[in-house]
Amino acid sequence: MTIKPKVGVLVSALLEDDYNKTAHMRPEAQKFVDRITGIVGQSADVVVPKLIEEEYQAAEAAQMFNAAGVDLIVAAQPAYTKGIIPTRAFLDTTAPILVWNTQQIRFLPENADFDLIMVNSGFAGVPEMTSALTRIGKKFWTLTSHIEDQVGLQKLADWIAAAGVVRRLKTTRIGTIAGTFEGATDMMADQLSLRRHVGPVCWPIEPETVASVMEKISDAQVKTLVKSESARYKIDIDAPSFERSCRLALALEQVAREKKMDALASFDYIWLNMPSVGIIASYGTGRLCELGIPTTTEGDIVHATAMIALQQLTGAATFIEPYVIDFDRNAVILSHDGHGNPAMAALPSHVTIKSSIYYEGLHGRGAGFEYAYKPGAVTLLSLICVEDKWRFVIAEGESLEIKPRPVAAPQMLFKPKSGDIQSWCDAWLMAGGPHHMGLAYGHVAARLEKVTKLLGIDVMVV
């Protein structure tokens, strides 16, 4: 699931006072407001007051922004504004601020009159606005571009998308099932620190809850799922084991939806020796990823968070870790033990559901996925916490075409965007990148970097 961010648009201009007599330009200035609103509105829900000319109007704008809970304020000026006017809005709001230093003409023509200058001279007042922001200690960033410049519009869209990630993270509920894999330092995280600095809240779910729901899943539900999966995937597992895996998958989905969880961090091994379950949950957790409920194994709440951020930006994410370096192709095999997002496979017809080779429970091994991820541009995202300071570790690269190995797991051959694989591995290790990662298609490092700015956390791009 992705959500739209809420963005406040604050446009101010000085048109009429004891010295300035250009109120006749108010309709043109309002058109500037409307134009900014239309651009921002392409990727956000916009909260916008009319043109701000007086301090009381700025105060009313702040009330509008606060009531709507905006994630970002885009501030612009078509003409000089006394700094105290927008400052009133900034003093009364807490949302981060992007100052868009823009204008509607590319240059001042030789026959320009004062009216044209009045609605294209925002740079006269923007420094006063940013200086005030600096002096009052408000968090802000700047973007200078012509209003139609595609590079500038892309940067603006990146900021808005980043604000959407922040909203998504701060409204995310991660269901945690049975703790984390013992001794794995990657997954040792302070849940309150995660909530405070990054956003998600973690909520425990007893593994017995899933087991109890599993027992109540009807045979008809199981048969329906078996039939639909058999129609699109290759099934290479005995029927009783696949049916049990489908029953567990349906139980996981039902619990996640009933408890309104946006993601799950599941310690899958907990069910291996539970008589009512007795198999690994790899098929069920992978299916949840496909359904848009990012799920990690081994109880990894940190990378459930990474998957949420990536899914917000790209629509789909998976959970992965490095396996084997390919020195000949400057790449590395990324995989996980039967768990992954089959929606990201090269071809659905090439996805195999097969018996796990990794874990055996009371009722056998259970089902997992085997396939190759599709080729294309990808972004990796990991999170670590260093002395209560969170960090995004990001890498862009390419998923290369690969023939899946018979290892009962999803697989990707990842090639870094630049440089040799040795240098990339060293850089990832020195950045503190853990062995688990979230992964999505597309190069979205620029947007993720802006997310860290909005959150006030660290970032390293490898």
**Confidence class for position 120, pLDDT limits 50, 70, 90:** confident
Counting residues of the chain whose pLDDT is more than 70, the rounded percentage is 100
| Phi/psi at 155 (5° precision) | -65, -40
Query: pLDDT per residue over 239-281, tens digit each?
Result: 999 999 999 999 999 999 999 999 999 999 999 999 999 999 9
Q: Which of 9-18, 175-184, 250-259 has the lowest mean pLDDT?
A: 9-18
The pLDDT of residue 114 is 81
**Helix then strand then coil, % of the chain, to nearest 5:** 40, 25, 35
The pLDDT of residue 41 is 97
Which positions ≥6 away from 450 have C-beta within 8 Å?
158, 159, 161, 162
Instruction: Cite the beta strand spans of 242-388 per DSSP E.
Output: 263-266, 295-297, 318-326, 331-335, 352-355, 367-372, 376-386
Q: In the predicted model, what is the mean pLDDT of residues 175-188?
A: 90
The pLDDT of residue 441 is 98
Query: pLDDT per residue over 46-81, tens digit each?
Result: 999 999 999 999 999 999 999 999 999 999 999 999
Residue with the larger pLDDT of the pair 120 and 426? 426
**Confidence class for position 118, pLDDT limits 50, 70, 90:** confident
* Separation in Å, CA 116 to CA 28, 29, 76, 158: 10, 11, 17, 30
Q: Tell me, which fold does domain 173-461 have in CATH?
A: L-fucose Isomerase; Chain A, domain 2 (3.40.275)
Q: In the predicted model, what is the mean pLDDT of residues 149-160?
A: 97
Q: Where in the chain is the domain with CATH 3.40.50.10940?
A: 6-170
Residue 141 has pLDDT above 80, yes or no: yes
| Averaged confidence pLDDT in the chain | 95
| Cβ-contact 306, 383 below 8 angstroms | yes
Residue 370 has pLDDT above 90, yes or no: yes
The pLDDT of residue 254 is 98
- CATH of the domain spanning 6-170, picked from 2.60.40.1080, 3.40.50.10940, 3.30.1490.20, 3.40.50.2000: 3.40.50.10940
Q: Where in the chain is the domain with CATH 3.40.275.10?
A: 173-461
